[in-house]
Amino acid sequence: MNKLSNSNLIKNLILSPFGIYLGWVIILFSFVLCIPLLTQNYDTSAQVPFIFITYSLVTFIFGLFIISFSNLFLFKDWVKQYWYINNVILIVSIGLIVFYIIKIIGL
């Protein structure tokens, strides 16, 4: 019975908004750790890792926005209970996306 409850706990954690956020962070962190392996054969290797890290940061912010926005529809009960977590992530990610777009247009 204890084994069954542990598997349900893990399944509930993975399929919860917290698990989705945590999974997104783990995936992107593992990609950032692989950047030196991906860029070791480039001639101008000084700038390529920096560019990959910048793009992974932008991807991280867009992913947080998509996850937070989809949580509004997929996990309505969780958002009603923990609205401050989802809304803070949503507002900060929108602000960073707007800042990024303004900086790109200004170039």
What is the distance between the alpha carbons of residues 54 and 47, in angstroms, rounded to a whole number? 11
CA angle 5, 27, 60 (to 5 degrees): 120
CB 58 within 8 A of CB 101: no
Q: Please, which pLDDT band fits residue 98 given cuts at 50, 70 and 90?
A: very high
Total number of domains constituting the chain: 1
Mean pLDDT, rounded, for 2-6: 57
pLDDT digits (tens, 9 = 90+) for 52-95: 888 889 999 999 999 999 999 988 888 899 889 899 999 999 99
Range(s) of the domain holding residue 36:
2-106
pLDDT for residue 54: 87
pLDDT digits (tens, 9 = 90+) for 8-27: 666 666 678 888 899 999 99
